[in-house]
Amino acid sequence: MKIKRSGRLVDMTYYMIQHPHELVPLTYFAERYQSAKSSISEDLGIIKQTFEESGVGTLLTVAGAAGGVKYIPTLAKEEAVAFIDELCQLFTKPERLLPGGYLYLTDILGNPALVKKIGLMFASLFATKKIDVVMTVATKGIPLAYAVANYLDVPVVIVRRDSKVTEGSTVSINYVSGSSKRIQTMLLARRSLAVGSNVLIIDDFMKAGGTINGMVSLLEEFDATVAGIGVLVESEDEDIEERLVEDYYSLVQLSEVNLKEKAIEVIPGNFINHYKEMKVIDFGGENE
């Protein structure tokens, strides 16, 4: 049965939101709604305008026989700034402070709404990059990695510190922990990452950057390229002699922890400054 235009607009909008970064041929919608391609193109134009005006993303049209349309989700700058402020307030709660100066993050990483928004933040920032996979290290970074990967429509690969027989043969390296200076091991299943992949590294917490630096070294074993690095929280600790990772984006910066007074001071990370500078999403001329 042929669907009215109002119904097509609702259904197409829902479909595109559920399939971010997926190239959908116009013939798919034409057959789905028994409508002419010209009508589908007009509908997509309305959806594209609505997306951009509301700050939830845009539609990218790829011309040619193998072309179609992609939904590129993004977050409006004002909403991004407000969300960073919300995260900062969450991190300053005194009850978050654990013995030894550690922070309790499980409530944040276990909150689907927060994790989803964090994923959208990083996906927006790297929307124009060629990303093949999102990588993280087990275990706390896994929810964040999946949230980002969902918006980018790419798989997740998980680096582990111990071997799992269910993953088959692995590639392992030794790396130096940035804070403790201890030699540790991390490994990745050979089948999980194709040679030459473009990899986005996502992690929950970074101090000196030893773990992330280890993942970068592990990627060299696969001749893979680091397309970007994103962390939820970075620690600005005076005891850190040298940051092992320089080119990264953080949502929140932990500036000071006072165990005696049970006080936590945080400020927005460098992510927000870069995000404020974003004006127009450039998709390399693919958009028609």
pTM of the model: 0.91
What confidence tens digit (pLDDT) does each residue in 109-162 have? 999 999 999 999 999 999 989 999 999 999 899 999 999 999 999 999 999 988
**What domains can be seen in the chain, in order of their start residue?**
5-73 (1.10.10.10), 77-277 (3.40.50.2020)
Q: Is the pLDDT of residue 187 over 60?
A: yes
Query: 63-67, 74-78, 138-142, 150-154: which has the highest mean pLDDT?
Result: 150-154
Is 183 exposed, middle or buried, given 0-12, 13-18 or 19+ CB atoms closer than 10 A? exposed
Cβ neighbours for 91, distance < 8 A, ≥ 6 positions apart:
103, 233, 252, 254, 264, 266
CB 220 within 8 A of CB 186: no
Distances (CA, A) of 230 to 9, 12, 28, 183, 280: 35, 31, 35, 24, 21
Residue in the structure block whose two tokens are 């450039």: 282
Q: Are strands 249-258 and 263-268 parallel, antiparallel or unpaired?
A: antiparallel
What confidence tens digit (pLDDT) does each residue in 229-283 have? 999 999 876 566 677 888 999 999 999 888 888 889 999 999 988 776 654 444 4
Q: Band of the pLDDT at 99, cuts 50, 70, 90?
A: confident
